[in-house]
Structure 1
Amino acid sequence: MKIDLTDTTSSKINAALMDARRAGGAGAAGMVLTLVIVTDEGSAYDALKAANDASREHPSRTLAVIKRAGRSPRARAETRLDAEILVGSDAGSGETVVLRMHGELAAHAQSVVLPLLLPDAPVVVWWPENSPAHPAQDPLGSIAQRRITDAVTAESPVGQLAQRAQSYTPGDTDLAWTRITGWRSMLAAALDQRPAKVTAAVVEGESYNPSVELLGLWLTTRLHVPVERVVTGGPGITSVTLRTKDGDITLDRPDGLMGTLSMPGAPDRQVALKRRETSELIAEELRRLDPDDIYATSVRTPVERLREPANAETAAADKAARAVEAATAAPARVTVKVPAEPAEGPAAAKAPAKAVAKAPAKAAAKKTATGVAKKAPAKRATKRSGT
Structure 2
Amino acid sequence: MIVDLPNTTTSQISKTLVKIREEGGAVALGRVLTLVISTNLGHEEEAIEAANDASREHPMRVIVISTSLDGHHEADTARLDAQIRVGGDAGASEVIVLKAYGDTASDEDGLVTGLLLPDAPVVAWWPGDAPEVVSISPLGRIAQRRITDAAAQSDPRGFLNHLSRTYSPGDTDFSWTRLTLWRAQLAAVLDQPPYETITAVEVHGAPDSPSTGLLAAWLQMQLKVPARHELVTPAHGSSGIQGVRLHRASGVIELERTNTNTVTLVQPNQPVHDISLIRRNLRDCLAEELRRLDPDDLFGEVIQHGLAELDAPTVTGSITVPVP
Q: Does 1:288 align with 2:292?
A: yes
Measure the CA separation in 2 of the matches of 1:201 and 1:273. 20
The one-letter code sitting in structure 1 at the alignment partner of 2:245 is: T
Q: Secondary structure at the match of 2:43?
A: helix
The one-letter code sitting in structure 1 at the alignment partner of 2:127 is: P
1:259–1:71 distance in 2 versus 1, CA, 3 Å:
closer
Q: Shift of the alpha carbon at 1:228?
A: 1.7
Task: Note if contact 1:43-1:128 (Cα within 8 Å) is conserved in structure 2.
Answer: no
Root-mean-square deviation over aligned CA pairs: 2.0
Task: Note if contact 1:249-1:262 (Cα within 8 Å) is conserved in structure 2.
Answer: yes
Post-superposition CA distance 1:131-153 (Å, at most 9, x none): 01210000111000000001111
Alignment of 1:80-99 (within 5 A): 80-99=79-98
Measure the CA separation in 2 of the matches of 1:382 and 1:156. 20
Task: Note if contact 2:208-2:239 (Cα within 8 Å) is conserved in structure 1.
Answer: no
Q: Shift of the alpha carbon at 1:80?
A: 2.0
Query: What is the TM-score when the length of structure 1 is the normalising length?
Result: 0.76
Measure the CA separation in 1 of the matches of 2:129 and 2:27. 38
The one-letter code sitting in structure 2 at the alignment partner of 1:236 is: G
Alignment of 1:151-300 (within 5 A): 151-194=150-193, 195-232=195-232, 233=234, 234-300=238-304
Post-superposition CA distance 1:73-97 (Å, at most 9, x none): 5x2xx22221100000100101000
Query: What is the TM-score when the length of structure 2 is the normalising length?
Result: 0.90
Task: Note if contact 1:24-1:88 (Cα within 8 Å) is conserved in structure 2.
Answer: no
Task: Note if contact 2:28-2:94 (Cα within 8 Å) is conserved in structure 1.
Answer: no
**What is the percent sequence identity of the aligned residues?**
44
Measure the CA separation in 1 of the matches of 2:275 and 2:285. 19
Question: Which runs of structure 1 show a deviation greater than 6 angstroms over 4 or more consecutive aligned residues?
Answer: none
The one-letter code sitting in structure 2 at the alignment partner of 1:118 is: L
Q: Secondary structure at the match of 1:282?
A: helix
- Segments of structure 1 that go 5 or more residues without pairing to the other structure are 310-379
Aligned to 2:310: 305
Q: Which stretch of structure 1 is more off in the superposition, 294-303 or 106-115?
A: 294-303
Q: Secondary structure at the match of 2:114?
A: helix
Q: Which stretch of structure 1 is more off in the superposition, 154-163 or 231-240?
A: 231-240
Q: Secondary structure at the match of 2:141?
A: helix
Post-superposition CA distance 1:13-54 (Å, at most 9, x none): 122122223333336521111000000123211111111111
Instruction: Say which structure is richer in helix.
Output: 1
Alignment of 1:46-61 (within 5 A): 46-61=46-61
Post-superposition CA distance 1:276-305 (Å, at most 9, x none): 111111001101111111111211234672
Task: Note if contact 1:258-1:270 (Cα within 8 Å) is conserved in structure 2.
Answer: yes
Q: Shift of the alpha carbon at 1:100?
A: 1.2
Instruction: Say which structure is richer in strand.
Output: 2
